Amino acid sequence: MSIRFETPRVVNVPIIPDRSTLQRYVDRVLDTGRFSNNGPLVRELESRIAERIGAAECVLVANATLGLQLLMKALDLTGEVIVPSFTFMATPNAVSWQGLTPVFCEIDSTTHNLDLRACERAIGPDTSAILAVHVWGRGCRPTAFQTLADREGISLFFDAAHGFDCWSEGHRLGCNGEAEVFSLHATKSFHCGEGGAITTRSAELARELRMRRNFGFTGYDRISTIGINAKLPELSAALGLANLETYDESVSASKETHRVYTDELERRLDIRPIQYAEHNHCHYVVVEWPSDRFAVSRDTLVDSLHGENVIARRYFYPGCHRMTPYAGETGRMNLGQTEELCARALVLPAGAQIEKADVTKICEFIERLADG
């Protein structure tokens, strides 16, 4: 049986905004000739995101990777930073780029997030911070990690790349730790094409981040600190503002996609994609494929799906600790749970844009393969 699609069905097809709404914002850029450097659209989007999330401050940047780097620079971290290995390479690479050492720590296999006890054990004399990731937008226990960081006298900040508008412990993500960094990349539930947002409660930290994203300038010819160019262009902010207007509708469509996958997979194979206990955009449909129960392994399944133009992904295989430049280093942690999850995780094409009929076809195909 073939279901081969003419065009690829990919994980997280970017949301396309309403064209006339986008045109309205683009016209504002063209009318004023202001394309960059903390322009009015960037400031407007910062206010709208801060208001939506309930954060005191939002600082937009060119992407989340640079956002993490700017934040680590501003926090003046030294030595080691604890990170999960079950994350996108941007997380440890941002740490390394700052001349810091990422220490890979084990995850909790049920939440896919950093394990608190393992993190406690990973803290050493050179640890200056914990960089926790809200994988799939499921909150990484902000309160418990804050208690640990306070007790150890180290910084805590979050890679919230997946977590826009997600809730954890009864609150929207965005106000935890020293700061949280969201990705606004095209593949995210809310996007600017490329972009990142740092949210924080601290006005002082936000002021420093704004200065550092703009080369460190504090006046026309005065530089106060080492900065970089991490500014978000106005045209990217235009895309973000247009997308924000229909964000709630696209989340509803993503939730429906997730629901259809859950129903289909449960009915056909008695498995479920991971479920979201608190409010989540449901942008990621993630299955832990039980290779021992079915006729095909996770990897054969992925290959077969690709053959049908269904570009399922193995995020975050094989684990950052097994990828260059970290492979071969002997970390001090056991990463058994991480490796097991890396061998099982399967991310299916989802989001607001995929047709529900396509989801049904994909699940039917998976069922046929699973039955052998």
Residue in this structure with the two tokens 């490796």, named with its chain if needed: 339
Instruction: Check binding of 180 to ligand T4K (CB under 6 A).
Output: no
Quote the distance between the C-alpha of residue 247 and its chain's center.
17
Between residues 28 and 321, which has the closer beta carbon with respect to ligand T4K?
321
Instruction: Check binding of 61 to ligand T4K (CB under 6 A).
Output: no
Instruction: Check binding of 90 to ligand T4K (CB under 6 A).
Output: yes
Burial tier of 201 (Cβ tally within 10 Å: 0-12, 13-18, 19+) = middle
The residue length of the chain stands at 372
Between residues 87 and 254, which has the closer beta carbon with respect to ligand T4K?
87
CA distance 220 to 239: 29
Instruction: Check binding of 236 to ligand T4K (CB under 6 A).
Output: no
Q: Which stretch binds ligand T4K (CB under 6 A): 139-147, 155-163, 206-214, 246-254?
A: 155-163
The first and second tokens of residue 39, run together, are 């322009």
Instruction: Check binding of 189 to ligand T4K (CB under 6 A).
Output: no
Q: Among 161, 206, 269, 296, which residue interacts with ligand T4K (rule: CB under 6 A)?
A: 161
Count of other CB atoms within 10 angstroms of residue 40? 13
Q: Among 3, 26, 175, 186, which residue interacts with ligand T4K (rule: CB under 6 A)?
A: 186
Between residues 64 and 305, which has the closer beta carbon with respect to ligand T4K?
64
With beta carbons less than 8 A apart as the criterion, state whether 113 and 141 touch: yes
Instruction: Check binding of 133 to ligand T4K (CB under 6 A).
Output: yes
Between residues 196 and 294, which has the closer beta carbon with respect to ligand T4K?
196
Residue in this structure with the two tokens 């997030």, named with its chain if needed: 113
Q: Which stretch binds ligand T4K (CB under 6 A): 88-96, 97-105, 257-265, 291-299?
A: 88-96
The first and second tokens of residue 208, run together, are 């420093």
CA distance 207 to 115: 33
Burial tier of 253 (Cβ tally within 10 Å: 0-12, 13-18, 19+) = middle
With beta carbons less than 8 A apart as the criterion, state whether 78 and 66 touch: no
Instruction: Check binding of 280 to ligand T4K (CB under 6 A).
Output: no
Question: Least distance (Å) from ligand T4K to the CB of residue 97?
Answer: 12
Instruction: Check binding of 228 to ligand T4K (CB under 6 A).
Output: no
Quote the distance between the C-alpha of residue 311 and its chain's center.
19
With beta carbons less than 8 A apart as the criterion, state whether 369 and 310 touch: no
3-state secondary structure at position 6? coil
Instruction: Check binding of 199 to ligand T4K (CB under 6 A).
Output: no
Best CA proximity match to 181, nearest among 78, 53, 282: 53
Instruction: Check binding of 65 to ligand T4K (CB under 6 A).
Output: yes
Instruction: Check binding of 187 to ligand T4K (CB under 6 A).
Output: yes
Question: Least distance (Å) from ligand T4K to the CB of residue 354?
Answer: 11
Question: Least distance (Å) from ligand T4K to the CB of residue 153?
Answer: 26
Instruction: Check binding of 91 to ligand T4K (CB under 6 A).
Output: yes
Return the residues of window 239-278 that contact ligand T4K according to CB under 6 A. none
Binding residues vs ligand T4K (CB under 6 A):
10-14, 63-65, 87-88, 90-91, 133, 159, 161-162, 183, 185-187, 196, 311, 315
